[in-house]
Structure 1
């Protein structure tokens, strides 16, 4: 028989959960509050409320082009990482590749490799082999760090799928391509959707790789935010950050509508 949890332990657990929520949400509340400030400086609580800094961002000649650049890179990385990561996950799950366990560890290694080390190594390798870095350098770098999330989420979905569906389709005379398109990929869709979400967010928010692997005239939004904070910080940075928070929440709502948030979270 399971004993009841002591009251002091329950209280301690509730306090711990409450502190965790505060630590997670407090910075976001500060950022949102600063974005509506009338002040010319970053200060919280705001002295007055105004939409001036959102107008400043909208009319800015630097924030919007940087956001468009980040969006283009993130979309391209999402498509590439989802296609390649999904294919790798299917092959690893079916163990159709030699040394599948070793390859699985290798594909997931970017999750534990420090980003700055990978960025410096990629810059040195690309410069020695191809010369000047380009937009392709940034695209490849972002794809490498985004793929493990697609592989991980797709493998999680495949591990819970019915392994006999593919055998049944083969028994009914379906070809390999037909089984892949009509059986395997539909089973992978929740994992692919979750992986695509992570890939997009990671690419759009990545600053270290973008700082090392971008062309001098190519400015992404995270790099622009870092530069603004370093040289002339003002509440426009908070306004941009608030917009990014809102877009992330919107993407979560879309995923909840399409896939179901609980099913997404399990993957």
Structure 2
């Protein structure tokens, strides 16, 4: 028989959840509050209400160019990670590759490697083999650190999939490509969606790699924000951050409309 939870324990659990939520969300509200302040400096609580900093950001060539570079790299990384990570997850799930356990560990190794060490190593390797860094350098380096997320989420979905569906399709005469397109990929879809969501956000928000693997005229949005904070901090930084928060919420809303958050979160 399950014992009833005592009232003090229930109150303590609710208080813990509420305090945790406040601790996680309070910085976001502070950022949004600072972004609409009339002050010339970063301060909270905000003094007055103004959208001047959003206007300054949207009319700034430095911010717009940096955002465009970040979006380009993030989209390239998302597509590449989806294809590479999805294919690797399917192959690892079927366990038809030799040394699949070793390959699984190798694919997931970027998750435990410190980013700054990887950035320095990538800079030295790329400079020695290919020469000056470029957008391609960011594309390749971001893909390496985001692909494990696609593999993990896709493997999580495949581990709960019905293995007999593909056998049934094969029995009914479906070719290998038809089985992949009509059976395997629909089963992978929630995991691929979750993985691509992580890949896009991680690539778009990655600052350490972009800091080491950049050249004049190739500044991503996170590096632009850090530079603004270092040399001339003002509420425009908060305005950019608020826009990024809004885009993340919008992306989650799109995923909810397409897949449902319950399927997305289950991965």
User: Shorter-normalised TM-score: what interval?
Assistant: over 0.9
Rounded Cα–Cα distance in structure 2 between residues aligned with 1:212 and 1:240: 22
Rounded Cα–Cα distance in structure 1 between residues aligned with 2:93 and 2:216: 41
Rounded Cα–Cα distance in structure 2 between residues aligned with 1:133 and 1:54: 32
1:68-107 equivalences in 2 (<5 Å): 68-107=68-107
Partner of 1:128: 128
Partner of 1:41: 41
TM-score w.r.t. the length of structure 2 is 0.97
Partner of 1:211: 211
Rounded Cα–Cα distance in structure 1 between residues aligned with 2:231 and 2:97: 50
Partner of 2:192: 192
Rounded Cα–Cα distance in structure 2 between residues aligned with 1:175 and 1:47: 66
Any idea what SS the aligned residue of 2:191 has?
A: helix
Partner of 1:241: 241
The total of aligned residue pairs comes to 267
List runs of 5+ in structure 1 lacking aligned partners. Answer: none
Rounded Cα–Cα distance in structure 1 between residues aligned with 2:103 and 2:214: 29
Residues 117-168 of structure 1: CA deviation (Å, up to 9, x unaligned): 1111111111222222121111001001110111111111111111001111
Deviation at 1:12, TM superposition (A): 2.0
Rounded Cα–Cα distance in structure 2 between residues aligned with 1:92 and 1:215: 38
> Is the Cα–Cα contact under 8 Å of residues 135 and 215 in structure 1 kept in the other structure?
no
Give me the CA root mean square deviation: 1.0
1:1-267 equivalences in 2 (<5 Å): 1-267=1-267
TM-score w.r.t. the length of structure 1 is 0.97
Q: Which of 169-178 and 203-212 deviates more?
A: 169-178
- After the TM superposition, list the runs of 4 or more consecutive aligned residues in structure 1 that deviate by more than 6 angstroms: none
List runs of 5+ in structure 2 lacking aligned partners. Answer: none
Any idea what SS the aligned residue of 1:62 has?
A: helix
Rounded Cα–Cα distance in structure 1 between residues aligned with 2:117 and 2:151: 22
